[in-house]
Amino acid sequence: MRRLLVIGIGAGDPEHVTAQAIRALNAVDVFFVVEKGEEKHDLVDLRREICERYIESPSFRTVEMRDPERDRSSAAYGEAVEAWRHARAEQWEATIRAELGEGECGAIMVWGDPSLYDSTLAVIEEIVAGGELELAYEVVPGISSVQALAAQHRIALNRIGRPIVITTGRRLSEGLHDGADDIVVMLDAGCAFRRFVGQPVDIYWGAYVGTPDELLVAGDLAEVADEIERVRAEARERKGWIMDTYVLRRRT
């Protein structure tokens, strides 16, 4: 039977890679790399650095899987994501069938942790549920950008007796969490934190957390919102993409 490992490799610092992940990396015959364009080539370089650092006998081979285009303009967000995941499943299944032999171990390296805002597991589950490809898979957890951000700002995510909300910038901009006291926000393309300016809220923001390009800003949201937006725009212009996470904390 073919075997596939979904390996969380941390938020960008090669030292985030766990001992469990290192053992998994050394068991791999084929690494499947999802190609996401030239603007994120430095992420490919970080994957290569991780492999060079931790794999003792580099006898593996690497196979690229091109990411299908995703319709980001559709008003039907859920349907658009499902269609994109289905297209991914079809492409990945064909590639895995062609490139991973019976008895071999393949792997997909996932930034952060595979369980948090990553579609890899949903795609693999669809392939397995289809029943056309016999595939056993395992998940190796990793350090997420949320954990790395909290560590860099030296904060705990939760406060005693209070829940935390983990959400996206899109959901935040819709006002769904206006009453929450502690909010972790990922995938914010439009600085949705601005809806809280003027309220007693602190922000702990970071971009490219764990990488050599790491950026951190923290403080009263009203005082640092403009700085975050400026730093964020400059970084996006320089690198061609932005990967940021932040915590909003209401002062009481």
Where does 100-196 have alpha helices with state H? 120-130, 145-153, 169-173
Tokens read off for 82:
């499902």
What three-state secondary structure class fits 180? coil
pLDDT for 251 equals 94
- Residue 200 and residue 251: Cα distance in Å, rounded? 5
Cβ atoms within 10 Å, residue 176: 13
- Residue 199 and residue 223: Cα distance in Å, rounded? 11
Q: What's the DSSP call for residue 219?
A: E
pLDDT for 164 equals 96
pLDDT for 178 equals 93
End-to-end CA distance of the chain: 56
Angle between helices 120-130 and 77-99 (to 10 degrees): 70
Helix (H) or strand (E) holding 21: helix 19-25
pLDDT for 246 equals 98
- CB 13 within 8 Å of CB 208: no
DSSP per-residue codes, 81-123: HHHHHHHHHHHHHHHHHHHS-TT-EEEEEESB-TTSS-SHHHH
pTM of the model: 0.91
pLDDT tens, position by position, for the chain (252 residues)? Answer: 999 999 999 999 999 999 999 999 999 999 999 876 554 677 788 888 999 999 998 899 999 988 887 766 666 777 888 888 999 999 999 999 999 999 999 999 999 999 999 999 999 999 999 999 999 999 999 999 999 999 999 999 999 999 999 999 999 999 999 999 999 999 998 999 999 999 999 999 999 999 999 999 999 999 999 999 999 999 999 988 898 999 999 998
pLDDT for 42 equals 75
- Residue 202 and residue 41: Cα distance in Å, rounded? 33
Cβ atoms within 10 Å, residue 3: 18
The closest alpha carbon to 114, from 9, 235, 234, 217, belongs to: 9
DSSP per-residue codes, 38-90: GGGHHHHHHHHHHHHHH-SS---EEEEEEPPP---S-S-HHHHHHHHHHHHHH
- CB 30 within 8 Å of CB 100: yes
- Residue 11 and residue 44: Cα distance in Å, rounded? 13
Cα atoms in the Cβ-side hemisphere of radius 13 Å centred on 177: 24
- CB 147 within 8 Å of CB 154: no
pLDDT for 28 equals 97
